[in-house]
Amino acid sequence: MVKIYFKLSDIEPMEIQIKRPETLDHVLTLCREQASIDIGEFIGIRNSRVITGEQIVENGDEINIFPAISGG
Amino acid sequence: MFSILRINTATGESKTEAFDSKEYLLGGRTLSSRLVSNEVPADCDPFGRNNKLFFCNGALAGTNASSANRLSIGAKSPLTGGIKESNAGGIVALRMEQQDIRCIALEDAPKSDSPWKIIVIGKESTTMIDGSFLEGMGVYEKSAVLSEKFGTKAGCVTIGPAAEKMLLASGLACSDPHGVCSRYAGRGGLGAVLASKRIIAMVILDDGKLKPTYADKDQFKVGVKKLITLLRENPVASKFTKYGTAAMVDICQSLKVLPTRNFRHGTMDDAEKINAQTMYDTIKERGGEGKTQHACMPGCVIQCSNVYPKKDGTILCSPVEYETMALMGSNLCVKDLDAIALMNRIANDAGVDTLDCGAAIGVAMEAGLAEFGDGAAAVKMMEEIRDLTPLGRILGSGCKTAAKVLGVRHAPHVLGQALPAYEPRGTKGMAMTYLSTPMGADHTFGFTLRDEDDPTTKEGKVELSKKFQVIGSRMDAMGMCNFVRYSVRDDMTPLLDLIKARYDVIITGKEFDDFVKETLRLEHQFNIDAGISAQDYRFSETFYEEAQPETGEKIDISDQETAEARNW
């Protein structure tokens, strides 16, 4: 299972089962399909590091998805 | 043609000149930094008669294009000793456009004991009138008096008591759309530069009725709609509307770069007590005058600003933004939004930068003047700044001065300007940006945080910082709000098309970026001429010696690498 936590969002946390390591973009596509949600541009964080959509995630990963915002 | 109104603050004489160069067309930082570079001797006393203060609006000011009315203010900074551009929202840029003014230049300086003056700019004349009656008032009271005298729609710039005493962290307060001087060009001590010219306020009357003209009005309308669509469709901008910049509390906590305990740590226990959701819920629950979204300038569709209410629903402070929540919150271990908002209000009233003063209070807490987490003590220190006590004057001179006086080595600044709200040991991209901006530590100059695959390594960060220095500077370069950059990050065409439709002048993306890079070159050259050396672009040595507990990281960036990041 990959656990996805959508921060500052009304979207409930999701658990996605993947057969093999996949990109984060692919996992988020599965999230969209499973729950019909609009995720939009995001900042993904895994183990205190930014994870981009092209990077690989695997079962056991916990990823926080934030709206892509910056300070002003 | 674009007009520059030059006002001699010693004699009261004024004259208007007109230019039609692309630098004047773009306005914003493109113009303000060129004027500082060309007209201010780099080695001058920032408080002397040779320093000048330039107020510039941007290429799309006065139109109905969203987020286009930023006011860019340039001078030599008394805080950093180098060049400074600080910008603010509000209505001043719009009023300048309605008076057909691209730039107001305040030149020369009278004797230091000369009476305070107010500059009044209207369609018939530019005058300097007695301003002594404003002396000693807080910014909110000054703002109310100015509104009563000149109307709530006048565009005003004023200073607080801190600037009147030349404190180095003092800023310039500009009118918001409601006539309150709450939009700050806070950084670099420019409030004290205005005070050195014995100008206590500048007012642009609402009698300028100049309407914007367009080379191709229909095409401009198409361009405005396209920009609005881009802003509304961009999820970044849409999230700003709900949470504003406060959302960064959670993001920085997750990345372990939330400045905590005088920048000793990158996380704070119970950070959720001051995060965006708590702020949103508090504002909604209290209702009244509170607003979770608010436009700082007319016509902005992003509306990232807010109005934070007291428990009874009346306004406590507007806006309360992430940088302040971190520097006056987590950095002091203060976990109370009401205390943070109150400190912010006092800072606005005293006329000081919330970042530099928050950092100075962090230094004071490390020196043992109060316990970290003691919100009441932090509020009291802000009151000392407003009341101009000896300690308040030290804190109001910024964290570098405070650290020297109070004997604290771990002083969070670069070039004397306090670090913004990203602990640099945990984000080497932001660290590189802090170390390579000509303005002193400044996050808006190259916001790498979202794009650092591995934030704790310095590898690749010169290139990353330089990439975002260009992206971040584009908006300043033409007087747009920095948050528009998300919608045009990969393609500036929508904004350049608006320029074409307004002025019938073609500026290509490459030409525009060349202006941006030339601006950076000029700014760095000014600093070199001012005597700022490569060794000055460093953090305090403790950042190189002591690891941040959460990441185990120290600053390991060399002078050579920061020099590369400053090479344009």
The closest of A12, A67, A61, A15 to A39, measured between CA atoms, is A67
Lowest-confidence segment of B14-18, B215-219, B230-234 by average pLDDT:
B230-234
Tell me the C-alpha distance between B39 and B399, whole Å: 30
Tell me the C-alpha distance between B99 and B338, whole Å: 40
Q: Is the pLDDT of residue B240 over 80?
A: no
A49 has a chain B CB within 8 A of its CB: yes
Q: pLDDT tens digits for A9-56?
A: 888 999 999 999 999 999 999 998 888 887 777 889 998 888 988 999
A64 has a chain B CB within 8 A of its CB: yes
The closest of B455, B487, B452 to B468, measured between CA atoms, is B452
Q: pLDDT tens digits for B6-24?
A: 999 999 999 999 999 999 9
B251 vs A40, A41, A66: nearest CB: A66
**pLDDT given for residue A69 in this prediction:** 74
Q: pLDDT tens digits for B327-341?
A: 999 999 999 999 999
A52 has a chain B CB within 8 A of its CB: yes
A72 has a chain B CB within 8 A of its CB: yes
pTM for this predicted structure:
0.95
* ipTM passes above 0.90: no
Q: Report the gap between the CA of A38 and the closest CA in chain B (Å).
A: 10
Mean pLDDT of the B434-444 span: 96
**pLDDT given for residue A72 in this prediction:** 62
Q: Do A69 and B251 touch (CB under 8 A)?
A: yes
Cis peptide before B319 (omega within 30 of 0): yes
Mean pLDDT of the B53-59 span: 98
Q: Provide the pLDDT confidence category of residue B300 given band limits of 50, 70 and 90.
A: confident
How many of the other CB atoms lie within 10 Å of CB of B508?
Answer: 11
Q: What percent of chain B has pLDDT over 70?
A: 99
Q: Do B251 and A55 touch (CB under 8 A)?
A: no
Tokens of B199: 């100008």
B198: left (phi over 0), alpha (psi -120 to 50) or beta: left
Q: Provide the pLDDT confidence category of residue B161 given band limits of 50, 70 and 90.
A: very high
**A window 3-32, beta carbon within 8 A of B:** 7-8
Residues from chain A that touch B254, judged by Cβ atoms under 8 A, are 7, 45, 48, 64, 66
Q: Provide the pLDDT confidence category of residue B237 given band limits of 50, 70 and 90.
A: low
Q: Which residue of B has its CA nearest to A10?
A: B277
**pLDDT given for residue B238 in this prediction:** 61
Q: Is the pLDDT of residue B551 over 90?
A: yes
Q: Provide the pLDDT confidence category of residue B236 given band limits of 50, 70 and 90.
A: low
Lowest-confidence segment of A42-46, A59-63, B503-507 by average pLDDT:
A42-46
Residues from chain A that touch B456, judged by Cβ atoms under 8 A, are 49
Q: Is the pLDDT of residue A68 over 80?
A: no
Q: Which residue of B has its CA nearest to A7?
A: B250
Q: pLDDT tens digits for B76-100?
A: 999 999 999 999 999 999 999 999 9
Residues from chain B that touch A70, judged by Cβ atoms under 8 A, are 236, 245, 248, 447, 449-450, 483
Given a contact cutoff of 8 angstroms between Cβ atoms, the answer to whether B415 and B402 are in contact is: no
Q: Considering chain B, what is the average pLDDT of its residues? A: 96
**pLDDT given for residue A71 in this prediction:** 66
The closest of B469, B463, B563, B465 to B519, measured between CA atoms, is B469
Straight-line distance from the first to the last Cα atom of chain B, in angstroms, rounded to the nearest whole number: 30
Q: Is the pLDDT of residue B233 over 80?
A: no
Q: Which residue of A has its CA nearest to B246?
A: A71
Q: Provide the pLDDT confidence category of residue B481 given band limits of 50, 70 and 90.
A: very high
A54 has a chain B CB within 8 A of its CB: no
**pLDDT given for residue A8 in this prediction:** 85
Q: Is the pLDDT of residue B186 over 80?
A: yes
Residues from chain B that touch A43, judged by Cβ atoms under 8 A, are 251, 450
Residues from chain A that touch B235, judged by Cβ atoms under 8 A, are 38, 40-42, 67-68
Mean pLDDT of the B447-468 span: 93
Q: Report the gap between the CA of B263 and the closest CA in chain A (Å).
A: 17
Tell me the C-alpha distance between B246 and B468, whole Å: 21
Q: Do A45 and B250 touch (CB under 8 A)?
A: no
Q: pLDDT tens digits for B402-425?
A: 999 999 999 999 999 999 999 999
Q: Is the pLDDT of residue B485 over 90?
A: no
Q: Report the gap between the CA of A66 and the closest CA in chain B (Å).
A: 7
Lowest-confidence segment of A48-57, B136-145, B406-415, B461-470 by average pLDDT:
A48-57
Q: Do B235 and A68 touch (CB under 8 A)?
A: yes
A68: left (phi over 0), alpha (psi -120 to 50) or beta: beta
A68 has a chain B CB within 8 A of its CB: yes
Q: pLDDT tens digits for B333-370?
A: 999 999 999 999 999 999 999 999 999 999 999 999 99
**pLDDT given for residue B412 in this prediction:** 98
**pLDDT given for residue B269 in this prediction:** 97
